[in-house]
Structure 1
């Protein structure tokens, strides 16, 4: 992975021992609380197991850059918490690091892998093209009278939030047959 200044995401997958779920949830709250105290921490998401779908926990840590992520990943705090939780899990966690737009292109209940860059570029371009035209058509007229820089700020913030939380997860699922042709085979 390149070590430049871009958002970095770490995806950690763990299978919890049967009967240890409550203790693991308590442990998880503790480690995520501590991770929030580290510079550059942008958030943590937890995807819990689903009966018949996925048996592992997926913990997603986001940081504003590689150096801040590295500070957390190599910290004594993290090492302490990992040692505290060892008895709760079946094996060492699977850890994957991704950065940039790669985080938009992941399939639920499957190990995180990224499709070829040309595919992510095409889908991202298409989503941005459609979304920017919709926002300019429906939102910009409501903002008339504001300075152009403020309008641009509002439009871009709205676009990034929609892309990250609404559009790209759905586009990834809709085009999963093309992004991950082999992962669809049973």
Structure 2
């Protein structure tokens, strides 16, 4: 894996045995605390189960580069904590490493699959093209009089937030069949 110069995200999905949620939360707090002591750790986010939407915990773990992530992933500390929490889970966790824009192309409630890069690039380009034109038409006129760097800062903040939380999740769902074609049976 040639990721040594890029930040890397690991997405872990785990289904907790019914009745073990409190013990799992305590375990999760401890393994997260230990992971923060490793060089290159950039943060951990936890998405908890939602009734009727998804039944698994999703843990998003970020490191500054692949080398530092690998140190954590192969550490004795991690191995120890995984063994400590194994009895709380219904099955082995699903662990996937991603980098860059791949996270934008995940579908809620489904395991993360990475579509071909050309498809990600094409859809990202279209979304950015449309969004930048909409923002330039409707937002930039409201910002007239501000220095150009401040206008650029505001526009990029709005664009990234919209791409991450509004546009790309919808684009991924809309183009799901094209991004993730099912293999045809002969």
**TM-score normalised per structure 2:** 0.82
Give the paired residue count: 183
**1:97-176 correspondence runs (5 A):** 97-176=97-176
**Per-residue deviation, 1:11:** 1.1
Question: CA-to-partner distance for each residue in 1:47-81, whole Å, 9 max, x for gaps?
Answer: 33455654432212123332343343344543443
CA distance in 2, matches of 1:4, 1:156: 27
Q: CA 1:159–1:68 in 2, change beyond 3 Å: closer, same or farther?
A: farther
Between the aligned partners of 2:41 and 2:150, the Cα distance in structure 1 is 27
Deviation of 1:118 after TM superposition, in Å, equals 1.9
Please state how far the C-alpha of 1:32 moved relative to its aligned partner. Answer: 3.0
Q: CA deviation at 1:138?
A: 2.2
Paired residue for 1:85? 85
Unaligned runs of 5+ in 1: none
- With normalisation by structure 1, the TM-score equals 0.82
